[in-house]
Amino acid sequence: MLKLHYAPDNASLIIRLVLEELGEPYETVLVDRSSNAQQSPAYLKVNPMGTIPALETPHGVVFETAAILLWLVDRAGRMAPAVDSPDRGAFLSWMMVASNGLQMDLRQHFYAERFTTGPVEDYRSIVAQRLRGHLDRYETLLGEGHAWLGSEDPTALDYYVATPLRWFALYLQNESWFDLSNWPHLKSLAKRIEARPAMQAAVDAEGLGATPLSHPSPANPPEGVAL
């Protein structure tokens, strides 16, 4: 049995969604961010980086969102191009952009005070330019008709790109530049992903509301808190 250490409406949501899409049996363990449990000695034994998510497996713990996703899809032989596929390199490249670019820049925008000693709003403005660039690039990719992004059968990359659109809408709502309608391919992806059975299971588990990606509302989880 796989064990997902998660917090509601956190990056662990991406892992939950892919686990559901794969039909993998798993258990969840709440990491209570309201008490900073991710930095507790007990959790640091699971994930020494003190970040969420972490996935306990029969072969040890896997942490970092992209690493967990790749471990899952390679183990399942689904939701990603095969290792000998001509598409594998592009898929991996854009997975790393989602991890080291999109996800990291969202984190730097949300917690800008941790990343700069200068004016926080100036730093956020710089990061916002990078975030717009990420959205533009994924919008272009979606329009190119790749089998590994935006096709009828979603890949792990679809989930990795679509899920953060929720956090753009919720936490960048005071920034005039973000309107998902400006990226129609991404908006279409959000609607397709939120209609998947995997998303419906996550909605129930984390209190995400009826339209969690295309028109999200703050989470109201049955356990823990969404921060």
pLDDT of residue 161: 98
Please check whether residue 122 lies inside any domain of the structure: yes
Task: Name the token pair of 90.
Answer: 């592009």
DSSP three-state, residue 104: helix
Please check whether residue 83 lies inside any domain of the structure: no
Count of structural domains within the chain = 1
Domain containing 180 equals 88-195
Please check whether residue 104 lies inside any domain of the structure: yes
Residues 6+ apart with CB under 8 A from 106: 131, 164, 167, 168
pLDDT of residue 173: 75
Entry pTM: 0.96
The DSSP code for 181 is G
Q: In angstroms, rounded to a whole number, what is the distance separating the alpha carbons of residues 16 and 4?
A: 8
Please check whether residue 68 lies inside any domain of the structure: no
Task: Name the token pair of 107.
Answer: 């984190």
pLDDT of residue 7: 97
Decide: residue 31, CB within 10 A, 0-12 exposed, 13-18 middle, 19+ buried: buried
Q: How far is CA 87 from CA 101, 145, 159, 167, 215, in A?
A: 21, 13, 18, 29, 32
| Element (DSSP H or E) covering residue 165 | helix 164-171
Q: Domain holding 163: CATH number?
A: 1.20.1050.10
Please check whether residue 154 lies inside any domain of the structure: yes
- CA 123 vs. chain centroid, Å, equals 23
Q: Are strands 26-30 and 2-6 parallel, antiparallel or unpaired?
A: parallel
DSSP three-state, residue 171: helix
Please check whether residue 146 lies inside any domain of the structure: yes
Please check whether residue 219 lies inside any domain of the structure: no
> Tens of pLDDT along the chain (227 residues)?
999 999 999 999 999 999 999 999 999 999 999 999 999 999 999 999 999 999 999 999 999 999 999 999 999 999 999 999 999 999 999 999 999 999 999 999 999 999 999 999 999 999 999 999 999 999 999 999 999 999 999 999 999 999 999 999 999 878 889 999 999 999 999 999 999 999 999 999 999 999 999 999 999 999 998 87
Q: How far is CA 58 from CA 9, 26, 29, 50, 62, in A?
A: 26, 12, 16, 21, 10
